[in-house]
Amino acid sequence: MPNQNVLVINCGSASLRFSVFANGCGEPLICGNAENLEKEKAYIKWKVTLQNEPVIVHKEQMAGADHKKILNTIFALLNSYGFLEKLSLIGHKVTHGGEHFSKPVVLNDKIIKTLNQISNLAPLHNPANITGIKLARKNLPNVMQVAVFDTGFHQSMPAHAYLYGLPVKYHTEYGVRRYGFHGISHQYASEKTVEFLGLQNEHGIISVHLDHGSSVCAINNGRSVDTSMGFTPLEGLVMGTRCGDIDASIVDYLNLKIGMPVADITRLLNKGCGLLGLSGISDDIRVLVDHAHKGNADAQLAIEIFCYRVAKYITSYIASLERLDAIVFTGKIGESENLIRDKIISRLAVLGIKVNTQENTKRGDKIRLLSSDSQSSRCQLVLVPVAEELQIAKQCKMLVS
């Protein structure tokens, strides 16, 4: 299908991102996002790149807009620029595929029924993903649509990595296991790193996706072999508002000690902890870096804990690999916050890794090497700008071609 457009839709619980790629590759012809859905401050913004014309950037307030109104606006927008005329595929990001889906699938009624059945595994994300799928199928019924799963890349993990220390029946009967997330991002970052460094078929990479939600992934010869997020995105690193790893007994302790219902504790662990809870200031790392520079001790400690946890996971994942060729940083924090990268890398000195200060501090949206020449380590540090929508488009094209 040469010269055909691929639309990618990433429907979140209160947000929506979209991009259109010519033939499923390259820079997007148009991309944008909507935030604060169903709230007074809801808005949509987009950027259009047309041949031989200046880039168009626009933002529109849409108070109270829901997924349906936003998607209708997007379809009308795409039509006005003529992008729908050559639309051949729509790719949807789906957060959780359970054990049913390890690869992208063409959507049909049977697949959507299965997605509904496993929505309890990701109650905040999958229902929103399904809403986007249903609206897109209704508006564009003649366009093939594909689901790409954020858990899919991690389905290659061995049992010793994905099983918890629970009776096996909880896995076989109820699906309790490590699933992992950010698989689309980790796969893209690792593939670009292999290409950038010219690595051979045998290679080991640790991918570090740092954003409001963060995770680390050990990748052996292109396959995920372990990752920090677990049954839900709560496990693993300290994140924007998620606590990450804690002793499970804390839930029972808080319930008994202060009478906090389990549902409220779960909400706290997901929405009121992490950087926000530790600092008491913000869940935005940029805000905390600013406060830390001004001497705020709470912000400084929150950042130290965040970076320490990342470095601890990186070093622990060496045990998952046969060799370590590269550590790659991606995600909005991973690619934009040089102070955070520097603090994490400084804890990896035992690996003989040294950062190239000039490369680490400069800005840019291109893949680049962050490590300095070192005879004591074969491991390179790489920065790969996040490109989930591009990876989804690429996987959609591979599926149908």
The residues assigned a catalytic role are 150
- With contact defined as beta carbons under 8 Å apart, do 86 and 4 qualify? yes
Contact by Cβ (8 Å): 88, 5: yes
Q: Annotation-wise, does 38 bind a ligand?
A: no
Residue 56 labeled ligand binder: no
**By CB neighbour count within 10 A (0-12 exposed, 13-18 middle, 19+ buried), where does 202 fall?**
exposed
- Give the residue carrying structure tokens 């804890």: 347
Angle formed by the axes of helices 183-197 and 388-400, nearest 10° = 90
Q: Does residue 232 contact residue 215 with C-beta atoms inside 8 Å?
A: no
Contact 98, 118 (CB under 8 A): yes
Question: Does the annotation flag 111 for ligand binding?
Answer: no
Tell me if 285 is assigned to a ligand binding site: yes
Q: What does the chain come to in residues?
A: 401
Q: What are phi and psi of 372, to 5 degrees?
A: -95, 165
Strand arrangement of the beta sheet that strand 326-330 belongs to: 223-227, 215-220, 204-209, 326-330, 380-383, 368-369
Within 10 angstroms of residue 251's Cβ, the number of other Cβ atoms is 16
Was 284 annotated as part of a binding site?
yes
- Angle at which helices 109-117 and 126-139 pack, to 10 degrees? 160
Annotated binding site for Mg(2+): 10, 388
Annotated binding site for ATP: 284-286
Binding-site positions: 10, 284-286, 388
